[in-house]
Amino acid sequence: MNYLITGVAGFIGSHLAERLLSNGHSVIGIDSFDGFYAKAIKENNLSAAKSHQSFTLYECDIENYQDVLKVAKDGGIDGIIHLAAKAGVRPSIIDPIGYQNVNVGGTQNMLEIARHCGIQKFIYGSSSSVYGINPNCPWQESDHVLQPISPYASSKVSGELLGHVYAELFGIQFLALRFFTVYGPRQRPDLAIHKFVAKMIKGEVIPVYGDGSTARDYTYVDDIISGIVAALKYSASLYEVFNLGNQRTVQLSQLISVIEEVVGKEPIIDRQGQQPGDVKITNADITKARKLLGYEPNTKIEYGILQFKLWYLEMMKQGLV
């Protein structure tokens, strides 16, 4: 099969490209190399994929419909995995219009491209943030009362709803995968595990928001990739939403303790107030993904953080972080 991955140079996209290539598929990757973090890091993410003869990279922006349409028309594509987006809850509060333009407008463009190029499978990288302040933990896909509390979260809800329209009107299979706090090698530098490991290694102060009681459903990237690959094989219905999480929550204070043990240094903590847009807890019910996709995450947090640390140390040797 020949798959198009948007946001291919990012954290999840680059891992997915490698998995699909290793499984014998061809991959067309597009990425705008947005300046949210260093281009050199994203290029390094793709080093393995670029060495594969079945991988093709195009530098273009999902906001530019004509550029992406040309890539799709020439590609003979069997499915789109749409991961490109402006990421992060806190930055979206500063730039809500930018997030709307890329995350909603860009998704609309990709769905139109699927429609006009006859691409019948569309996997959408959604987010646990769509649940917002939902008190019904663990969160289930069947709970339709979504209460997002950031522009980023609302943009992801909008993408899911657009997908439903295209499934109903044009028969495009649209599967929304709600990722729960993905971590592992190549994780974005703005996220907690990346920041904490980096600062502990360097002996720097760690900003900790709140009292440490917030909890997240941390999910290792290899488990997420297995969920995406399973979704590519799913054909039983035109529209579905799936939680891809770990179904285990880890409190922030516990996370810091695990990182301290893995890194071997005591953290220097700077307590700060709770950030707007942050929720108290994220917790996935993965019953549906288990049943329909055979999804079964099995990576423990200690192992995942160790793998991230090893990657980060290698990046330090290369002068990339």
**How far apart, in Å, are the Cα atoms of 318 and each of 184, 307, 312, 314?**
18, 17, 10, 6
C-alpha neighbours within 13 Å on the C-beta side of residue 264? 3
Q: Mark whether 209 is an active-site residue.
A: no
Is residue 241 within 8 A of residue 275, CB to CB? The reply is no
- Looking only at the bridges linking them, the beta strands covering 79-82 and 2-6 are parallel
DSSP one-letter code for 139:
B
- Report the alpha-carbon distance of residue 134 to residue 158 in Å, rounded: 17
Task: Give the pair of three-digit tokens for residue 224.
Answer: 């997420």
- Report the alpha-carbon distance of residue 108 to residue 102 in Å, rounded: 9
Using CB atoms within 10 Å of the CB of residue 140, give its burial: 0 to 12 exposed, 13 to 18 middle, 19+ buried: middle
Catalytic residue among 152, 183, 218, 295: 152
Task: Give the pair of three-digit tokens for residue 127.
Answer: 């987010």
Annotated catalytic sites, by residue? 152
